[in-house]
Amino acid sequence: MNCEHSRLYLSAYLDEELDVPGILVMQQHIDECHGCRAVLEQQASLRQALHDPALYAHPTPEFAERIRNQIRRAAQNDTESRFVSLMTPFRMGWYGWMRAAAVVGIALFIALPWAYRLRGSSERAIEEAVIAGHIRSLQAEHLVDIPSSNQHSVKPWFQGRLDFAPAVPDLGDAGWTLVGGRLDYIAGRTVAAVVYRRRLHDINVFIWPKSGAADETANPRYIQGYELLHWTRANMAYWVVSDLNRKELDEFADLLRRR
């Protein structure tokens, strides 16, 4: 054994955590090596010093009492809750829990897809209505009721015709011309349609209130050759539909959300 190894095992030797062959090898080396013996002596006196009871950090009696009370309280709550569970009409064993879990699982299995489909179908109906509204507005030459590129004449026009005030931001500086506003009928209610144009592409923005809805942005959809964006902000549902490409329409939607 060389000194490098000896130093590594010295501390375990001191702690009597070496196996018998290890102890024998160490003993032999320490007998022969003056340097390692000195280190061992230092470590032994260091160890002695560390065993000084004054180094032990004692908690204060007040703190001990506080924790003790806390444990007692926790134990009490625990017994109380156990008592409550005893009082329930039937105590469910492991088997009972399994059965209950199975029932809940089956119920969810049936109910979830159903609820999902229900929600999905209403969402899809709105999508179709929005697309239809867009197509209608282009076909019947009835794009706008109030043709104006001035937001200050479009916005007041909605007043008195709707029970909410849709945002009509002017995005002309970003290259989105405001064409005007129109009333439309979607999902069983009158909604605001604000029309913008870029190059030859018309963009319908349908807005109506949707109270209690969380702010969220739906995945973009592509239906019948139209791009369809939808999001909810501040209890208002926004649907943007156009034959413009997705990239530009996304930029438009970002602008709209920011204003």
Partner 1 sequence: MWPHFRAAYNLARWLTRSHDDAEDIVQEAFLRAFSACENLRGDAARPWLLAIVRNTSLNWMKRSGKIALAMGGEPELNDLREPSPDPEQSALISVDRDGVRRALEQLPVEFREALVLREIEGCSYKEIAEVAGIPLGTVMSRLSRGRDCLRRILASPAKETVT
Task: Based on the shown chain and the rule CB under 8 A, indicate whether residue 82 belongs to the binding site for partner 1.
Answer: no
Restricting to residues 202-221, which ones interact with partner 1 according to CB under 8 A?
none
Task: Based on the shown chain and the rule CB under 8 A, indicate whether residue 17 belongs to the binding site for partner 1.
Answer: yes
Task: Based on the shown chain and the rule CB under 8 A, indicate whether residue 67 belongs to the binding site for partner 1.
Answer: yes
Distance of CA 124 to the CA centre of its chain: 25
Nearest distance from residue 79's CB to partner 1, in Å?
A: 11
Among the listed residues 28, 42, 85, 122, the single contact to partner 1 using CB under 8 A: 42
How many residues bind partner 1 (CB under 8 A)? The answer is: 38
Written as six digits, the tokens of 168 are 């009509």
Residue nearer to partner 1 on the CB measure, 45 or 235: 45
Task: Based on the shown chain and the rule CB under 8 A, indicate whether residue 113 belongs to the binding site for partner 1.
Answer: no
Task: Based on the shown chain and the rule CB under 8 A, indicate whether residue 78 belongs to the binding site for partner 1.
Answer: yes
Contacts of 214 (CB under 8 A, 6+ apart): 232
In angstroms, rounded to a whole number, what is the distance separating the alpha carbons of residues 16 and 48? 15
In angstroms, rounded to a whole number, what is the distance separating the alpha carbons of residues 168 and 146? 13
In angstroms, rounded to a whole number, what is the distance separating the alpha carbons of residues 235 and 209? 6
Task: Based on the shown chain and the rule CB under 8 A, indicate whether residue 80 belongs to the binding site for partner 1.
Answer: no
Task: Based on the shown chain and the rule CB under 8 A, indicate whether residue 32 belongs to the binding site for partner 1.
Answer: no
Nearest distance from residue 87's CB to partner 1, in Å?
A: 22
Residue nearer to partner 1 on the CB measure, 73 or 124: 73
Beta-bridge partner residues of 239:
206, 230
Long-range pairs of 253-257 with CB within 8 A, sequence gap ≥ 24 = 253/229, 255/169, 255/171, 255/174, 255/176, 256/169, 256/171, 256/205, 257/231, 257/233
Nearest distance from residue 30's CB to partner 1, in Å?
A: 13
Stretch that binds partner 1, among 31-39, 156-164, 173-181, 223-231 (CB under 8 A): 31-39
Residue nearer to partner 1 on the CB measure, 35 or 156: 35
In angstroms, rounded to a whole number, what is the distance separating the alpha carbons of residues 66 and 155? 65
DSSP3 helix / strand / coil % (the chain, rounded to 5):
55, 20, 25
In angstroms, rounded to a whole number, what is the distance separating the alpha carbons of residues 72 and 69? 5
Task: Based on the shown chain and the rule CB under 8 A, indicate whether residue 161 belongs to the binding site for partner 1.
Answer: no
Q: Which residues bind partner 1 (CB under 8 A)?
A: 7-12, 15, 17, 35, 38-39, 41-43, 45-52, 54-59, 63-64, 66-68, 70-71, 74-75, 78
